[in-house]
Structures are given as structure tokens and as C-alpha cells.
Amino acid sequence: MTGRPQVSEYMTREVQTVSPTDTVADVARRIKESEGHNGFPVSEGRKVQGFVTASDLLLTGDNDPIFTVMAEDIIVGHPEMDVIDAARVILRSGIQKLPVVDDADNLVGIISNTDVVRSQIERATPEKVGKLMRTLEQIHDVPLHQEHRTVELVRLTPTQARVYADELEGRQYELKRGLAEPLVVIDNAGDLILADGHHRVMAATELGVEEMDASTIVVDERVTLGMERTAEKEGLGSIGDIEVVDYGRHPLIETTERLQE
């Protein structure tokens, strides 16, 4: 064990596959109707026989069986691979998804370039939490411990008065693809203080999300936090009090519609 993130921690275990005898039309329909899939592993039972992508289906007949168009000599990974090694394989091979097989060559998951990005984003959270815990311990001299929780957004007290509309779009993109890192929350004797992740919370609220993962610092003895006093002065009692500020889009970004005016 290396101590670094492994493929098994980030791969998708429920893998959608197609059969070698499915037709091109069948798979094209699956790709069109799916969310975010541009290809599938081709398997017979749990054994991977190939991989088919949307581009493989071009210039083929609707009734052609998939085994005639799929890529057969494909790269696969192992659950105990480092995520970084999987990232190198994905990058250098020009693929978007890496099927994962166990020691018996059975398909057990699939890891995508999106999963790799998510693994790197989430590594930043422990550093933030550790730094904040050390600061709180030094200032208040109280025992603390950390827990991973799912928190209700309506229970959070924000500590940031405003967020920016253009950044919310990026956070929504991340949330839809599972890329957002956990929030950082302080549980001060039952009061949940949002220390980091205001844009993520607001983006989630706009998407109708009610709960999010959070790295939670639990204060064993209630203390008066400086960020709580600041929130009170700013009139921040809930996430509904956060102002969304729109300063306009970047002046160097254009849309094709505007270019044609």
C-alpha cells in the first residue's frame, strides 16, 4: 500500500456494458439516451472483450454487430493502481475511460478522466481542515476532532456575505459531474458553521440539492468563534442571506451569437 489514492476509491463499480452481439443501432441509442456516456465496455458475462465509442459507430451499418467495430486491444487497469498512474495511462493513451479488472480478469469497475480530476480536488480538503483545526486549537485551547458527514444545507450558518454568479456556473458544472470537493463545516455544539464552500452550497441550492458531503470539525466544548461574530454582524443566519453578485462576464469571452451581430 502506497498511502496514495487508489483506483478502487474513485472508480464507478456499477458499470454499464454492451454485448458483442448488440447492433450499432442499439449502442448508438444507448449513447444518445445516456447521461455523459460516449462509449461502453463490451463484455460477455464479466469478461471484457473490447470497448466501443461513438466514433467507432461512424460510417457503419445500423445492423452491424458491435464485435465487428469495437476496439479489441484495449488497456485495462487494476483496483490497486494509484490514481496518478491511471491518470498517466488515460492521458497518454488518449482515452477517456479505463476499464478496471480484478486478478481473475473480471470487470469490477471503470475510472474516467473526470474521476481522476475529482481525486485530485478532494486531496485539497484535508489540508484546509488540518490548517483550520490547528488555528482553532491555538486560539481557543479546546479539544477538537474531525468527522466526515452529510450535512443539510438549511442548517448551515454562512460566514461569507456574497458569492459571484459567474463562478456559480462553474460550481454547478462540477457538482453535476461529481467533481466538487467536500464542504468544510464547524460543528460548534450543534450549530453548523460553514467555513469553506459557499459557492458550492449556493450552486447546489440552485440545483435543488439539499445535502452535501462535509469535512466537519467538531468542537467538544462550545466556544465563541470569531467567524460567528462576523456572520452575526453581516446579518447572516442562513444560506438564503448570501448575496449573489453579477459583475458581468469576462470582457474577452464572446458567444458565437454576439460575434455574428
- Position 142 scores a pLDDT of 85
Report the run of H or E that residue 132 belongs to, with start and end.
helix 124-140
Q: Are residues 83 and 139 in the same domain?
A: no
Q: Are the beta carbons of 24 and 61 closer than 8 angstroms?
A: yes
pLDDT for the residue numbered 235: 93
Percent of residues, the chain, with pLDDT higher than 90: 57
Q: Of 29, 32, 36, 47, whose CA–CA distance to 12 is shortest?
A: 36
Query: How do residues 188-204 score in pLDDT, each as one tens digit?
Result: 999 999 999 999 999 99
Would the pLDDT of 2 be above 90? Answer: no
pLDDT tens per residue across span 22-66: 999 999 999 999 877 899 999 999 999 999 999 999 999 999 999
What is the pTM assigned to this prediction? 0.60
What was the pLDDT predicted at 124?
60
In a domain, 259, yes or no: no
Give the CA diameter of the chain: 71
Domain boundary among 75, 98, 119: 119
The mean of the pLDDT values for the chain is 88
Task: Give domain status of residue 166, yes or no.
Answer: yes
Same domain, 33 and 73: yes
- The answer, yes or no, to whether residue 1 has pLDDT greater than 50, is no
Q: Which helix (H) or strand (E) holds 10?
A: helix 7-10
CATH code for the domain of 77: 3.10.580.10
All 3 cell numbers of residue 137?
Answer: 486549537
Same domain? For 144 and 198 the reply is: yes
**Total tally of structural domains belonging to the chain:** 2
| Domain shared by 231 and 148, yes or no | yes
